Amino acid sequence: MPNPYREIFAVPGAAGFSAAGFLGRMPVAMMSIGVVTMISEITGRYGLAGALAATLALSGAVIGPQVSRLVDLHGQRRVLRPAVLFALTAIAGLLLSAERGWPDWLMFVCAACGGCVPSLGSMIRSRWANIYRGEPRRLHTAYSFESVVDELCFILGPIIAIGLSTTWFPEAGPLVAACFLASGVFWLTAQRATEPTPQPRGDDHSRRSALRSPALRILVTTGVFSGVIFSSVDVVTVAFAEEQGHKSAASLVLATYAAGSCLAGAVFGLMHLTGPPARRWLLGVCAMAASVLPLPFVGGLGWLTGVLFIAGLAIAPTGVTIMSLIQHHVPRAKLTEGMTWASTGIATGIALGAFVSGRVVDRAGAEVAYAVPGIAGVTAVALAFLGYRHVVPAQRAETIPPAQGGTDADGQDGGERRENDGREEDGRHSQPVA
């Protein structure tokens, strides 16, 4: 029986850039929770810890899409290396400020500058899209594999970050995360053969942001509240485990959350579904929301572990579907930027969730704070239903024959050809890109 995962790595260089992406994405799972653990260990102030993690994430949400837009224009190597050097300098300043007890405002400045971290997940998915353009089944498998890699990062990352910061020294978790970031980016950018060709934009319309697509705006907005779910679960779980007298166990509990998503993503990659991706996305958002509603009622770490494992099952399939929808709505010349906007929505929610949940923990305790992801989930569902009509039209276009504007031989569509002709493609009536 053919193995879809083995097939996607038949292309030379695929294993190398995917491995570099795994290493470079570890800080996504390590940095925020590492900062929360570091600051809580040094000062005992969860409000400050959550605010710093929120600043770091929000900065990445603002800067990340701009870095990706430059990548689309100039290439990964030319942009990622200087960006990551700037981010590493800022992270070093944050660690020194925390260790030496320098003023809080200085830590916030360093956290804001530390957000200049490239979206490695978008860079890797852009390489897969460049390789398997016009092969939707293999691209689906590749995206599913990368979702599994994301979840492996979230399984291992919190264990490493929390474990190092609680058993070695408080700054150890973020420090190791910075080392992973530097290694992953420089390894990835050394691999030139699979790097997508830059796509210069020669007119005013083509220079406009991918966020002009209404469908992308809906995906990003809904992603904000998904990010609130993720970060609030992280922050509150650390506090809940401390209240239970087992703070170091938080990393294992959060690893179970990611393990559920990892398992679901691996199975999802073996499936070749033919229904509308927009419907799968809506169901996924509903499942994520429903699965976190029981969290305020868990009585101990055992029950919490089981609930979070089930909650994790909805994450990866929903994320894979979002990337597929972006393929449908965003022209290839803006693909990296479009994928990064999706990550930006989640990062913004991570910032908001870390800040709000940290404050609620300080004032009311962890059990009450578990209401934060539930409220965020219900809000995400409401937004998904309200915006669903903007996502659906591109799915109807999948059945249109090529003569009427469907995809051509290389998997590209009239939307990209219109952009190359200098006319605006805002995604409102776009055809599928892949």
Mind listing the pLDDT tens digit for each residue in 55-65?
A: 887 788 788 88
Winning range, highest mean pLDDT, from 33-42, 152-161, 340-349, 420-429: 33-42
- For helices 315-329 and 136-167, the axis angle rounded to 10 degrees is 130
User: Above pLDDT 70, what percent of the chain?
Assistant: 86
Residue located via tokens 């398992």 = 263
The span from the CA of 172 to the CA of 60, in Å, is: 21
User: Would you mind telling me the total number of residues written for the chain in this entry?
Assistant: 434
If pLDDT is split at 50, 70 and 90, which confidence band does 286 have?
A: very high
pLDDT tens per residue across span 82-130: 999 999 999 999 999 888 888 888 999 999 888 777 788 888 988 988 8
Which residues fall within 8 angstroms of residue 231, CB to CB, at 6 or more apart? 32, 53, 54, 57, 349, 350, 351, 352, 353, 354, 357
| pLDDT over threshold 80, residue 426 | no
Q: Do residues 87 and 116 make contact, with C-beta atoms less than 8 angstroms apart?
A: yes
Is the model more confident about 72 or about 204?
A: 72
For residues 210-248, one letter each, b for 16 or more C-beta atoms within 10 angstroms of the residue's C-beta and e for the rest, the string is bbbbbbbbbbbbbbbbbbbbbbbbbbbbbbbbbeeeebb
| pLDDT over threshold 80, residue 403 | no
pLDDT tens per residue across span 225-246: 998 998 889 889 888 888 888 8
User: Above pLDDT 90, what percent of the chain?
Assistant: 19
The predicted pLDDT at position 200 comes to 66
If pLDDT is split at 50, 70 and 90, which confidence band does 335 have?
A: confident
Q: How many other CB atoms are found less than 10 A from the CB of residue 254?
A: 28
pLDDT tens per residue across span 122-145: 889 889 888 887 787 888 888 888
Retrieve residue 400's tokens: 């249109």
The predicted pLDDT at position 2 comes to 67
The predicted pLDDT at position 209 comes to 66
Q: Which helix (H) or strand (E) holds 60?
A: helix 46-74
If pLDDT is split at 50, 70 and 90, which confidence band does 430 have?
A: very low
pLDDT tens per residue across span 253-283: 888 887 888 888 888 877 776 677 888 889 9
The span from the CA of 336 to the CA of 328, in Å, is: 13
Q: Which helix (H) or strand (E) holds 26?
A: helix 14-43
Residue 244 is given by DSSP the state T
The predicted pLDDT at position 100 comes to 85
If pLDDT is split at 50, 70 and 90, which confidence band does 399 have?
A: very low
The predicted pLDDT at position 1 comes to 55
The predicted pLDDT at position 419 comes to 38
The predicted pLDDT at position 355 comes to 80
Q: Which of 264, 234, 263 is nearest to 251 (CA)?
A: 234
For residues 50-68, one letter each, b for 16 or more C-beta atoms within 10 angstroms of the residue's C-beta and e for the rest, the string is bbbbbbbbbbbbebbbbbb
The span from the CA of 167 to the CA of 211, in Å, is: 43
Q: How many other CB atoms are found less than 10 A from the CB of residue 396?
A: 11
Q: Which of 368, 236, 241 is nearest to 297 (CA)?
A: 368
The span from the CA of 187 to the CA of 196, in Å, is: 16
Q: Where are the alpha helices (DSSP H) in 168-300?
A: 172-189, 204-207, 214-243, 250-269, 277-292
Winning range, highest mean pLDDT, from 188-192, 245-249, 250-254: 188-192
Q: Do residues 121 and 28 make contact, with C-beta atoms less than 8 angstroms apart?
A: yes
pLDDT tens per residue across span 363-398: 888 888 899 999 999 999 999 999 888 877 544 333
pTM over 0.85: no
**C-alpha torsion 142→148→150→155, nearest 10:** -170
Average pLDDT value for the chain: 80
Domains of the chain: 13-196+210-398 (1.20.1250.20)
Query: Which amino acid, 2?
Result: P
pLDDT tens per residue across span 163-186: 888 888 888 888 999 999 999 999
3-state secondary structure (DSSP) of residue 272: coil
Q: Do residues 424 and 209 make contact, with C-beta atoms less than 8 angstroms apart?
A: no
